[in-house]
Chain A
Amino acid sequence: MRADVSQAAVLAVTASGLLFAQDTTPAIRVDVSLVNVAFAARDARGQIVTDLTRDEIEVFEDGVVQPVRFFSQSSDLPLRFALIVDVSDSQSSFNRKHRLDVETFAKSALGPADKALLVCFGNQILSGSDFTSSSRDLLRGLDTIVKSHSALYPDVTPNGIRNHGTAFFDAVYQTARTKMMEPGARKALVVFSDGEDNSSAYDIIEAIEAAQAADAPVYTVHYSDTTHISPHTRQRYGKIEMSRLAEETGGIAYDSTTNVAKALAEVSSELRSLYELGYSPTNAARDGSYRKIELRSKRPGIVIRARRGYYSR
């Protein structure tokens, strides 16, 4: 749960010490913790806005205006995706659709310089493919796992027991923490599931925290059996959890009844148009507390989406 201040830049300026080896002048240490926030901007009609300037954005942390240290928008940063696919029993009727989605994703969202990894989960968390640009690798990984499971991520508990079928939070948490913490790329998680977790060690807040710490928005595609007249309690729960994950991390929650191919293409173009800004928080304490982040645009009609906070660890 470290590095919630994503890519905390610790600059140790030891110039005097290096240059004058004989000198007893104490080294000057400057500890600057930068908080980076990637954000999407859309106008009142939902169109992506690409010409915002630094002066048009205000950043608040816990209601206090923050000094923006850098601001940029470049459309040619490579993307790093984590595709997280629920292969638990409750989703078995969607296995074919999931395969189709992964295929569509590779075709419509993955650019030549982009890479994606594939994680499948039931009550174990399995690696289908590490980062690759090849849609074949991704599909082969998925097919292999659907046929025969083998665990990848060690369980978080001492003896590694997970009962029941769906370790949704653990899958998001472990993937964000072990695969998405590298700086220098634009990252996103795309999750296909019903959200009906019943076997994780981590909870919704820890899953959100891990994605926020990686500054990786979570895009969710909710698959649920809709043969019942009214959704049962667990279906409502799953839907809430998937929406929360998206909202709190700056992503979008989709339902499988929408056009998934179109949604995935939208995700890709949105990620390519993200702005990045960095600020040094006025509250520099590393007290582990949650800090609310709010970005406001001074230009009227602009809607900003970004992660809603981070934990100052």
Chain B
Amino acid sequence: MHPAAILLAASLAFAQNPVPPSIKVDVTLVNVAFTARDSRGRLVTDLTRDEIEVLEDGVVQPIQFFGRSADLPLEFAILLDMSGSQERFNHEHHEDLAAFAKEALTAGDKALLVCFANRMRIATDFTSSAADLLIGLDRYGKNKTRTNLIELEPDDTRSGGTALFDAIYYTASLKMMEPGARKALVVFSDGEDNSSARDVIEAIEAAQSADALIYTVRFTEFRHGLPTARNRYGVTEMNRLAADTGGLAFDAARTDVGAALSLVSAELRSLYEIGFATTNPGHDGAFRKLKLRSKRPGVTIRARSGYYAR
């Protein structure tokens, strides 16, 4: 995360005073969104500030604000893997997108649709309309040249089929950095990246920087019914992306995707937000481990695992 470096330049200009006093305070404020669930997996919505402890690299941090409001608008980026390896799931992707629009998107929310293979195209830019999302997907599917669709970070040197990490990296860093909304990426893929310039660590970092949670829905194609080395790799990567950003990983073969997406939506609407002024304000680029603890017994907290102090 780019800790929001807030420069408060309070120049209190007194018209008569030739030398107005000027106060400059450099505060590095780190925001973290988190979910809380009880031991039976239900969302907990009544935690108070005193029940939460934030540790950065093992050091307790002073909490500057704590809030939870159920009516913040959500901002989604839907990433659909349209590479050859996912072809047989294209029909399901269409159904899942329809389910997403129905179950997760409510009035006031916005969603963006990115379709990727070894290129990443904006099929639909941010919209509140479910119909626009589906039209975008259809347009992507029908127009084989896709020249009318905007490319995120075009790169002619990208070969191979699946640029998952690049898709996440550029979606998060180019489209999700605006503050003021609750942000999530919903990624439908097998996780078997083979053509990105960025790696899984950079993809996670970009999402952490946007304070966006990644929810993954994994479609793995088993050949001869058995997992290959690459299948295993894809599982690991999809799980990592979710775990390190505070999201959740679903296996499409074992999950009702519609139900999962409505769970995602409910979870995002019950997120808490916490902000702290880090006790280590240096911008050394190093990874800072974050740990959120609940003092109330049985409550499990999920949040991003850290941020980079850039």
Whether A62 pairs with B226 at a CB distance below 8 angstroms is no
Whether a CB of chain B sits under 8 angstroms from the CB of A262 is no
Contact with B along A271-298 (1 / 0, CB 8 A): 0000000000001000000101000000
Q: Mark B155-194, 1 if CB is under 8 A from A, else 0.
A: 1011110010010000000000000000000000000001
Q: Is B195 an interface residue (CB 8 A)?
A: yes
Residues of B within 8 A of A167 (CB): 229
- Chain A residues with Cβ under 8 A from B158's Cβ? 232-234
Binds A, one of B230-238, B250-258, B259-267: B230-238
Interface status of A224 (Cβ within 8 A of chain B): no
A177: interface (CB < 8 Å)? no
| Distance, CA A234 to CA B227, complexed state (A) | 25
B277 part of interface (Cβ distance < 8 Å): no
B150 contacts the other chain (CB 8 A): no
The answer, yes or no, to whether B198 is at the interface (CB within 8 Å) is yes
A148 on the interface (CB 8 Å rule)?
no
| A156 in the interface (beta carbon within 8 A) | yes
Picked from A159, A161, A198, A231, the residue with its CB within 8 Å of the CB of B160 is A198
Supposing A204-B199, A204-B200 touch, asked if A157 and B228 sit within 8 A by C-beta, the answer is: yes
Contact (Cβ within 8 A) A156 B229: yes
A309 to chain B, nearest CB (A): 9
Per-residue B-contact encoding for A62-104, CB less than 8 Å = 1, 0 else: 1110000000000000000000000000000000000000000
Asked whether A202 is an interface residue with its Cβ less than 8 Å from the other chain, the reply is yes
B197 contacts A236, CB within 8 Å? yes
Q: Which residue of A lies closest to B227 (CB)?
A: A157
Would you give the shortest CB distance from A87 to chain B, in whole angstroms? 18
Contact B157 A201 (CB under 8 A): no
Instruction: Determine if B199 and A240 form an interchain contact, defined as CB atoms under 8 angstroms apart.
Output: yes
Number of interface residues of A (CB under 8 A): 38
Beyond the given A163-B230, A234-B195, could you list 17 further A-B residue pairs with CB under 8 A, ordered by the A residue number? A64-B58, A157-B228, A157-B229, A161-B226, A161-B229, A162-B228, A162-B229, A202-B233, A202-B236, A203-B200, A231-B157, A232-B157, A233-B195, A236-B197, A283-B58, A292-B57, A292-B289
Q: Is the CB–CB distance between A233 and B155 below 8 Å?
A: yes
Nearest residue, chain B, Cβ from A201: B229
- 13 A-B pairs with CB atoms under 8 Å apart are A63-B280, A159-B228, A161-B223, A161-B228, A162-B229, A163-B229, A167-B229, A201-B232, A232-B157, A233-B157, A234-B160, A240-B199, A244-B199
Judge whether B199 and A230 touch: CB under 8 Å. no
Interface residues on B, range: 35 or more
Asked if A237 contacts B229 (CB within 8 A), the reply is no
- Say yes or no: is A205 at the interface (Cβ < 8 Å to chain B): yes
In the complex the two chains form, what is the Cα distance from A167 to B201 in whole Å? 19
Choice from A161, A162, A205 contacting B201 with Cβ under 8 Å: A205
Residues of A within 8 A of B196 (CB): 233, 237
User: Which chain A residue has the least Cβ–Cβ distance from B192?
Assistant: A198
A167 to B194, CA, bound (A): 12
Residues B194 and A198 in contact, CB atoms below 8 Å apart: yes
Nearest Cβ distance between residue A67 and chain B, in whole angstroms?
A: 15
A212 to chain B, nearest CB (A): 15
Task: Check B159–A232 contact: CB distance below 8 A.
Answer: yes
Q: Does B59 belong to the interface (CB within 8 Å)?
A: yes
Chain B residues lying within 8 Å of A228, measured Cβ to Cβ, are: 157
